[in-house]
Structure 1
């Protein structure tokens, strides 16, 4: 069992490295190989330590396309969480169907009881529901915090979309705004 898990973690790291080196993830215009490798290692370590998986822009969009065309009306099987500040992020633009839950950019090692209860209420009772967290872009740690805490609370299908709203917009996909 341990060797299977180790192989899975190794394969995740390799997949991330390949994705990053082929430009799947936005690097803010930088193509420096050392930066790509540094970011791949960062994602690998965060995902492995956080107990969640990474989803690419194309894969995430395909999941949404398989749902009801109005996305927000059929989110019982998929929860999308925008981890950015409400005023600077979610209200400005967000992925259709997303709900806000702000996390700080630096890694959060402890949630107070009130925040933890609100987070569990947002996630709901179905621990097998697919949950995707995103923030601003590949440099934003907010989505890591959300995904890590969902996994720590026992949710089993947790994903981080590291390209964030920036990658979503760069791909030309629609967004919603909240006034």
Structure 2
């Protein structure tokens, strides 16, 4: 009696292993996906005319008191109010490419409102972020800042998820 149970257990284990293996992507398939994401990101950066900044770099800039404007492009109530990079202001941008200024997509704010937030100094560093690497709200914000003539525009790719993931404190609106 033990022998059939053992055989059934072995068969089930092998079948489960084959199913999991068939469903799981191998390292080569995963690399193809990573490559596609990296190429897409590089093309966004080139098209947008801005640079990028990492989580540790941004933290160093903040700690050093570097004069810059930091902008969170996430929705106010759902995200910014709950957690944002310390010192960041909020300005909503949409996820899809915003080729023309669209007041509906920016929460009723105009291009002039954005320029006012960025300030008159076109050389001052501007850091724009959203939630995470794949979120393209920050691409829209950074591309628009560059389009408006700001020279030192950075997209903080990891956004608030990377900030929190690095263990850095977030600010919130009470």
| TM-score interval (norm. to shorter) | 0.7 to 0.9
What SS class does the counterpart of residue 174 from structure 1 fall into?
coil
User: CA separation in 1, counterparts of 2:159 and 2:33?
Assistant: 18
Runs of 4+ in 1 over 2 A off after TM superposition: none
What SS class does the counterpart of residue 110 from structure 2 fall into?
helix
1:164 maps to: 159
What SS class does the counterpart of residue 123 from structure 2 fall into?
coil
What SS class does the counterpart of residue 177 from structure 1 fall into?
coil
1:108 maps to: 98
Larger-gyration structure (1/2): 2
1:95 maps to: 85
The alpha-carbon deviation at position 119 of structure 1 amounts to 0.4
What SS class does the counterpart of residue 54 from structure 1 fall into?
strand
User: CA separation in 1, counterparts of 2:35 and 2:85?
Assistant: 28
Q: Please show how residues 24-103 of structure 1 align to structure 2 within 5 Å.
A: 32-67=30-65, 77-103=67-93
User: CA separation in 2, counterparts of 1:51 and 1:115?
Assistant: 21
Q: Which runs of 5+ in 2 are unaligned?
A: 1-26, 104-108
1:139–1:112 CA distance, 2 compared to 1 (3 A): closer
The alpha-carbon deviation at position 170 of structure 1 amounts to 0.5
Query: Which stretch shifts more, 82-91 or 58-67?
Result: 58-67
1:20 maps to: none
Q: Which runs of 5+ in 1 are unaligned?
A: 1-30, 68-74
Query: Which stretch shifts more, 126-135 or 56-65?
Result: 56-65
Aligned residues: 141
Which string of whole-angstrom CA distances, capped at 9 and with x for unpartnered residues, describes residues 82-121 of structure 1? 0000011100100000000000011100115861011001
TM-score, reference length from structure 1: 0.75
RMSD: 1.5
User: CA separation in 2, counterparts of 1:112 and 1:88?
Assistant: 21
TM-score, reference length from structure 2: 0.77
